[in-house]
């Protein structure tokens, strides 16, 4: 078993897209309405998102150490799953928010 010693700080902002909001500088369909905020300290145990009602996407930012994530019903491990490096550009996740799980990735 791989021991994760560096926790990762992950910022999650669940949101929905509102096509009815007028913003002259934004293309249609790109107006995001934040529905919450969650900060997760990723460790050696897979964590799930807290998904507010109506959320259809999330902006995910990894701050202090890399993580791995999966959304196929299987928990990620420190070496299996889609990686996101610390300080990488935030990702916009549009998949099944309720199935999204993340874990700290060892270096």
Residue 93 buriedness (CB in 10 A; 0-12 / 13-18 / 19+): middle
Whether the pLDDT of residue 71 is over 50: the answer is yes
Report residue 35 as tokens.
């529905």
Whether the pLDDT of residue 25 is over 90: the answer is no
Whether the pLDDT of residue 41 is over 70: the answer is yes
pLDDT of residue 74: 95
pLDDT of residue 19: 47
């Amino acid at each position: 078993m791989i021991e994760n010693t560096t926790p990762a700080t992950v910022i999650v902002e669940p949101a929905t897209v509102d096509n009815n909001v007028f913003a002259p500088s934004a293309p249609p369909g790109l107006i995001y309405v934040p529905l919450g905020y969650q900060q997760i300290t990723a460790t050696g145990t897979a964590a799930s998102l807290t998904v507010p009602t109506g959320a259809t996407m999330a902006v995910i930012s990894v701050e202090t150490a890399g993580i791995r994530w999966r959304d196929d019903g299987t928990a990620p491990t420190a070496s299996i799953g889609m990686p996101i490096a610390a300080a990488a550009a935030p990702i916009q996740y549009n998949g099944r928010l309720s199935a999204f799980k993340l874990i700290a990735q060892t270096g």
